[in-house]
């Protein structure tokens, strides 16, 4: 037991971020960098082989004596609001180790620029590990929803991240799928998501299909993603069947699609179940 209580942990670098306080950090993090200390520079040899890495950080300001918390996006008065810290990503935990997967943008000497991190400026980094698509990708993984985004815009940002992580880049049809799915979850379901999505989408629009697969985890092999003809996306839900008829002349780039009004992108026709 004495040996277990004396594990040495040395930081190998530090986070550089525009957020210097936790309240400044957006829900999904923000662009940041990891600066590796000079004595650990040899450990970066061939890191450029990997597009994504895991960043493990020591959350030195976190509470260590809490075992149950109310996660972000959950109202304390809701039934089941209390969660064990091992069931959520709260920084409060016995050993406050933060874990974030992120895309590497560039490596210049000791500085690794990354797409986003949810660690504040000055956070000690304890390790870097490559993200292996052959081992770390678990497309069939499922989670029961915890809480809800603070706004529809926050939901959109999260969905874009999921869709791009699956497809590889942001394009107009991917953005269109995000807007449709965002509307369905926020405006129709009120973020009360079903345990399993049942989706139908145009078979000739590969980017749109990729986005829906990335966001819903539905797939043709599982039988919950059907390929159909015509410009429409359909969601089969216990409350009804929801047809999103896609506009014939939508914006032609992703930024314009994400900024457009709903009526410029689609029309919803719902068949309610009695």
What per-residue confidence (pLDDT) applies to 145? 82
Cβ atoms of 138 and 161 within 8 Å: the answer is: no
Per-residue pLDDT tens for 143-159? Answer: 888 888 889 999 999 99
Place of tokens 């449709």: 180
pLDDT greater at residue 274 or residue 115: 115
DSSP secondary-structure letter at 149? -
Provide the token pair at 54.
């895991």
Lowest mean pLDDT among 7-16, 29-38, 74-83, 185-194: 74-83
Q: How many CB atoms lie within 10 A of CB 187?
A: 12
The residues near 157 (Cβ < 8 Å, ≥ 6 apart) are 26, 27, 28
| Distances, alpha carbon 126 to alpha carbons 27, 167, 194, 210, in Å | 22, 30, 38, 35
What per-residue confidence (pLDDT) applies to 76? 87
SS3 sequence of 25-74: CCCCCEEEEEEECHHHHHHHCCHHHCCEEEEEEECCCCCCCCCEECCCCC
Provide the token pair at 148.
């809800």
Per-residue pLDDT tens for 24-79? Answer: 999 899 999 999 999 999 999 999 999 999 999 999 888 999 999 998 888 888 88
Q: How many CB atoms lie within 10 A of CB 270?
A: 14
* Complete DSSP assignment for 83-105: EEGGGS--S-SSS-EEEEEEEEE
Q: Per the confidence metrics, is the pTM higher than 0.85?
A: yes
Report residue 272's pLDDT band, with 50, 70 and 90 as the boundaries.
Answer: confident
Q: Where are the beta strands (DSSP E) in 37-140?
A: 52-58, 68-69, 83-84, 97-108, 111-117, 124-130
| Distances, alpha carbon 51 to alpha carbons 13, 30, 200, 241, in Å | 20, 18, 32, 39
What per-residue confidence (pLDDT) applies to 2? 58
Domains of the chain: 4-61+96-136 (2.40.30.70), 152-272 (3.30.1330.130)
3-state DSSP assignment of residue 57: strand
CA pair distance 54, 273, nearest whole angstrom? 45
What per-residue confidence (pLDDT) applies to 166? 94
3-state DSSP assignment of residue 213: helix
Per-residue pLDDT tens for 105-140? Answer: 999 999 999 999 999 999 999 999 999 999 999 988
pLDDT greater at residue 142 or residue 17: 17
Per-residue pLDDT tens for 198-243? Answer: 999 999 999 999 999 999 999 999 999 999 999 999 999 999 999 9
What per-residue confidence (pLDDT) applies to 3? 61
């Amino acid at each position: 037991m004495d040996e277990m209580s004396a594990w040495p942990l040395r930081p190998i670098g530090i986070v550089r971020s525009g957020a210097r306080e936790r309240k400044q950090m957006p829900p999904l993090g923000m662009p940041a960098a990891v600066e590796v200390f000079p004595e650990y520079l040899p450990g970066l040899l061939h890191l450029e082989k990997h597009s994504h890495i895991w960043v493990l950080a020591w959350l030195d300001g976190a509470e260590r004596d809490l075992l149950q918390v109310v996660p972000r996006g959950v109202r304390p008065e809701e039934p089941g609001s209390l969660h064990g810290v091992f069931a959520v990503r709260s920084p409060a935990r016995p050993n406050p180790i933060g874990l974030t997967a992120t895309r590497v943008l560039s490596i210049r000497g000791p500085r690794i620029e990354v797409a986003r991190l949810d660690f504040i400026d000055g956070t000690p980094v304890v390790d870097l590990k490559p993200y292996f698509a052959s081992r770390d990708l678990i497309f069939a993984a499922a989670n029961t929803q915890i809480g809800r985004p603070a706004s529809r815009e926050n939901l959109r940002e999260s969905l874009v991240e999921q869709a791009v992580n699956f497809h590889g880049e942001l394009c107009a049809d991917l953005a269109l799928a995000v807007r449709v799915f965002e509307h369905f979850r926020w405006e129709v379901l009120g973020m009360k998501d079903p345990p399993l999505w049942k989706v139908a989408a145009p078979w000739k629009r590969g980017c749109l299909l990729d986005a829906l697969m990335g966001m819903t985890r539905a797939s043709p092999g599982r039988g919950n993603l059907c390929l159909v003809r015509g410009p429409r996306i359909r969601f089969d839900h216990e409350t009804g069947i929801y047809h999103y008829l896609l506009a014939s002349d939508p914006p032609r780039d992703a930024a314009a699609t994400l900024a457009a009004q709903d009526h410029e992108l689609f029309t919803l026709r719902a068949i309610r179940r009695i």
